[in-house]
Amino acid sequence: MNKDNINFLFNKTGRALKLSLLFSFFLVLTLLPLVLAAPPVTTVQSITEGYMIEDSPLTYIKQSTDYQYNFFVFNISNGALKTNTSVSCIHYIANSQGGVIYYEAVKYQPDGYWGTLIKGGNFSNTGTYAYGTRCNSTALAGATVGTLEVTPNGEEAGFNFEPSIFLGLLFVSFIILILSFIFKNYIFSFFAGMLLLITGSYCMINGFAGATNTWTYTLAVILIGLGGLITILSGLDLLGNVEGKDDTEEDD
């Protein structure tokens, strides 16, 4: 490869990397605010007949600890407190994978409430557990659903490191990429491209700040694509420089 070809390759890949950097900043700054902007769809319905279930669950439960769940059942139309003379209730809990780990009939207590004791073995793993309660008679029914957070100490989890990992990888990638232009050393841009590949893969697997939706997937695909492009262009430039040095040594 002669000197003119080497210069052409250097200029071509250099311009491409600069355009990739500007394109990366634009897309990330555009998509990042939208990552968490897609709220779940919620439908509110007004029901005038049936049973209303009033509970007051703990928000956080200590891992592997028994949990007593209590609630009241009222008739929606007249507010009458319902007992087990005509109503039966069941309670279920599902783990973070959606598997039902508890499904039992709930006993009516003499004090006017319904209650069930869930053993701590059902909460052996930390994470979010979905629960539901259904009560029905021959003519009417009612239900309620919610979530419980199981943590090691029964308190709100501390600092969430996942967004920091993602943003940290993204920040380091762009800093290394900028350094590659300042020092005209495309070894830096090669490693920046690899880091963008890792960042995109992390975002695709874990989402961002607990959110996994179309925006996180789109952002992940873009980061992986840009990382691959920058890695390939940097590799071509490095290969051209090596061949250029070999040709220069032969001329000497």
pLDDT tens digits for range 174-223: 888 888 878 878 788 888 889 988 988 888 887 765 556 677 788 888 88
Residue 170 pLDDT more than 90?
no
Say if 104 falls within a structural domain.
yes
- What is the extent of the structural domain holding 208? 3-38+159-251
Same domain, yes or no, for 168 and 220? Answer: yes
* End residue of a domain, out of 151, 184, 204: 151
The answer to whether the pTM exceeds 0.85 is: no
* Alpha-carbon distances, residue 108 vs 53, 69, 113, 134 (angstroms): 13, 12, 6, 14
Same domain, yes or no, for 218 and 136? Answer: no
Q: What is the mean predicted confidence (pLDDT) over 98-109? A: 95
Q: What is the mean predicted confidence (pLDDT) over 239-243? A: 62
Number of domains within the chain: 2
What phi, psi does 20 have (nearest 5°)? -65, -40
Same domain, yes or no, for 65 and 147? Answer: yes
Rounded Cα distance between 30 and 44, Å, is: 32
Residue 24 pLDDT more than 90?
no
* End residue of a domain, out of 151, 181, 201: 151
Same domain, yes or no, for 181 and 240? Answer: yes
Burial of 50 per CB tally in 10 Å (0-12, 13-18, 19+): middle
Same domain, yes or no, for 121 and 167? Answer: no
Question: Which of 10, 12, 38 shows the shortest CA–CA distance to 207?
Answer: 38
* Residue at 26: amino acid letter: F
* End residue of a domain, out of 117, 133, 151: 151
The predicted pLDDT at position 141 comes to 95
